[in-house]
Structure formats: structure tokens, C-alpha cells
Amino acid sequence: MDKKKIIIVEDDEFLRSLSAKKLEDEGYQIIVATDGQSAIDLIPKELPNLIFLDLLLPGVDGFEVLKQIKANEQTKNIPVVVFSNLGQEEDIKKAKDLGANDFLVKANFTLDDVVAKIKEILK
């Protein structure tokens, strides 16, 4: 069976490598993007099963990435889990209105929580 593919969009190197390693250990194929523009370029090419998206990114931000994904016929059904420093109600609402499946506030979740969330969506 093919491995399920996850794109991690995160500019913090440490968090990115930790989550990539953890998810690889869980049996997923991981592709990383370190900023918004490369995420927008990569996602339609790779067509992952899930996108793990930070919101505060250098250049194009995560909200914009989300907008572009949802505007593209090919990518609009890919589930998106937002993982961000932001966590005010209006940020969460904005992301959900743009089509995010879930919104995790950084620091409030452990990596295991994150994996559990992703597993549940990819079930």
C-alpha cells in the first residue's frame, strides 16, 4: 500500500524537522515547504493527502496559501490542519471560514496530539 503523503508548511526549522521525523516514524511520506510561495507551488504538483500548515510564514502567509489551495479544483478537497502561533477567536474563525479542517494553537498541543489529529483525519 502506498504511503500517505503529508506536506508540512512551517518556517521554524526545529518544529519542522521534529514533526517531519515523528510523522515519518508513523509511516507517512513527508514533504516540507519552508515558506508560503513554495507551498503554493508544491501542493498542486504533489497532491498530498493532507496539508499541515503554519499561518505566520515569510512572504505569502498561511491564510493566502489556504485561499489558493481552496480556489484550485485539484487541491480544494485536501484536508488542511492549521498549526499556528495565532489563536485568537478571529484567527481561528478566519482559517475555518477559508476551509481549514482543524486549528491547533502551537504550544497548546504536544506532537502526539498533532499526530492523533492527523491520523483521525486520514483514517
Binding site for another protein (CB under 8 A): 12, 14-15, 18, 22, 56, 85-90, 105-112
Rounded distance between C-alpha atoms, residue 118 and residue 80, angstroms: 10
Q: How far is CA 15 from CA 1, 21, 98, 100, 110, in A?
A: 28, 10, 24, 20, 11
Minimum distance, C-beta of residue 65 to another protein, in the bound complex (Å)? 18
Minimum distance, C-beta of residue 89 to another protein, in the bound complex (Å)? 7
Residue 3 or 93 having the CB closest to another protein: 93
Minimum distance, C-beta of residue 44 to another protein, in the bound complex (Å)? 27
Rounded distance between C-alpha atoms, residue 24 and residue 103, angstroms: 22
